[in-house]
């Protein structure tokens, strides 16, 4: 049994705590929300983020980073991407050297365009060689229930990912290792943006063919930007690429697809986000992806349309028309040539 510290008490962090306990580890969950530990102890579940799942008494919820980090052998960051830097900074002096670090945060930092790996490298200097990144098709409720799930765990060098694989792999949660950190991260971040587009298409009744096209062409965009950043194009054919993309773009539990559905009903993105407790990462990521694609000269028309709809209140039908009336293209333009 190892002490596992889960930093972030949202739906996925809570689900991981339940899984880690079933795996035989001793999980502690750090919460940002001051009232949450008392609520969990009283209600025996995390009604705020993952209702319907009993939280055993031996899973500790705390707001104290010292208590959370004390004696931990694996620290898992499961916080929204916009809060990863201040949270990592908060824990930097409390996590002992040699602790394995695993990040499940998905996004690109606004303003710096830093990937989550770069954020952690700048804040957790002593743990650079022991840091890995988890991504792949996984809804929190599936993990909480113990339903079969496969994920990709990436680190470079790969030894950290293999050590984490040894610790958390099981027949219900299979962990595949990968050394392409950039690919695993960009796949996990950008699929949320494409999922918003799919939600809009579904809400407008554009049909299953349109959804399949958005997923496929969305994967092309992800691959173009990812390889420009140094990723291996093969990674995007795996769990953190096409696997996560399919789930997020089609699953009813997807917050990003749900955001797109609400946009199709005439609601503004800013109003939807303001009324949500859980974060739809695609909304947050759309802006840095838009800025990064422009600065690197990478063509990303679907992501561009999502940005304009979310941040400039662009007309949805106009966005669809702009995508369908673009100049004729070769299907794999910009991918085979890493252009």
Which residue, chain included where needed, has tokens 């606004």?
Answer: 110
70-96: burial string, b at 16+ Cβ within 10 Å, e else: eebbbbbbbbbbeebbebbebbbebbe
| Bridge partners of residue 113, in order along the sequence | none
Q: Which residues contact 338 (CB under 8 A, 6 or more apart)?
A: 227, 228, 233
- Fold (topology level) of 189-324: 1.10.1040
The 10 Å Cβ neighbour count of residue 337 is 8
Ranges for all domains in the chain classified under CATH 3.40.50.720: 3-179
User: Cα dist. 157→92, 108, 160, 240 in Å?
Assistant: 21, 22, 7, 18
Q: Which residues contact 246 (CB under 8 A, 6 or more apart)?
A: 137, 215
pLDDT at 47: 96
Q: Which residues contact 132 (CB under 8 A, 6 or more apart)?
A: 100, 101, 102, 103, 153, 154, 155, 160, 161, 164
Instruction: Say if residues 231 and 338 touch (Cβ distance below 8 Å).
Output: no
Q: Which of 191, 228, 268, 287 is catalytic?
A: 191
* For the chain, counts of helices (H) and of strands (E): 15, 10
Per-residue tokens: 15: 């689900």
Per-residue tokens: 299: 């063509």
Distance between CA 29 and CA 45 in Å, rounded? 13
pLDDT at 211: 98
Distance between CA 162 and CA 164 in Å, rounded? 5
- Cα–chain center distance at 89: 20
Please confirm, yes or no, whether 329 is among the known catalytic residues: no
Instruction: Phi first, then psi: give them for residue 300, nearest 5 degrees.
Output: -140, 75
- Fold (topology level) of 3-179: Rossmann fold (3.40.50)
| Bridge partners of residue 101, in order along the sequence | 75, 131
DSSP string, 7-23: E--SHHHHHHHHHHHHT
Per-residue tokens: 231: 């990723």
Name the pTM for this structure.
0.95
Q: Which residues contact 315 (CB under 8 A, 6 or more apart)?
A: none
The pLDDT averaged over each successive group of 10 residues in the chain (339 residues) is: 94 98 97 96 97 96 97 96 96 94 96 95 90 97 98 97 97 98 97 98 98 98 97 97 98 96 95 88 96 96 98 95 93 67
pLDDT at 337: 52
Helix axes of 301-312 and 281-296: crossing angle, nearest 10 degrees: 120
């Amino acid at each position: 049994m190892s002490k596992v510290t889960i930093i972030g008490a949202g739906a996925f962090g809570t689900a991981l705590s339940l899984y880690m306990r079933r795996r035989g580890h001793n999980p502690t969950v750090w919460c940002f929300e001051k009232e949450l530990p008392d609520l969990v102890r009283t209600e025996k579940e995390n009604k705020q983020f993952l209702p319907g799942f009993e939280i055993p008494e031996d899973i500790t919820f705390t707001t104290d980073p010292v208590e959370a980090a004390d004696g931990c052998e694996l620290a898992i960051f499961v916080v929204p991407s916009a809060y990863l830097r201040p949270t990592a900074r908060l824990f930097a002096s409390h996590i002992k050297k040699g602790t394995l670090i695993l990040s499940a945060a998905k996004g690109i930092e606004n303003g710096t365009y830093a990937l989550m790996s770069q954020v952690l490298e700048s804040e957790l200097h002593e743990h650079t060689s022991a840091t890995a990144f988890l991504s792949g098709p996984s809804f929190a409720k599936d993990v909480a229930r113990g339903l079969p799930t496969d994920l990709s765990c990436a680190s470079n060098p790969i030894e950290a990912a293999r050590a984490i694989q040894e610790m958390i792999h099981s027949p219900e949660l299979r962990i595949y290792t990968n050394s392409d950190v950039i690919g695993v991260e960009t796949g996990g971040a950008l699929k949320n943006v494409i999922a918003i587009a799919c939600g809009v298409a579904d809400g407008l009744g554009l049909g299953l063919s349109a959804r399949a096209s958005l997923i496929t062409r969305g994967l092309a965009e992800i691959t173009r930007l990812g390889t420009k950043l140094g990723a291996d194009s093969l990674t995007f054919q795996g769990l953190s690429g096409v696997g996560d993309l399919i789930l997020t773009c089609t699953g009813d539990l997807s917050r990003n697809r749900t955001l797109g559905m609400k946009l199709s009903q005439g609601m503004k993105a800013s109003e939807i986000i303001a009324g949500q407790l859980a974060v739809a990462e695609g909304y947050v990521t759309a802006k840095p992806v838009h800025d990064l694609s422009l600065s690197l000269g990478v063509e990303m028309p679907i992501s561009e349309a999502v940005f304009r709809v979310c941040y400039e209140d662009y007309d949805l039908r106009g966005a669809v028309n702009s995508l369908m009336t673009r100049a004729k293209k070769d299907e794999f333009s910009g991918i085979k040539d890493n252009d």
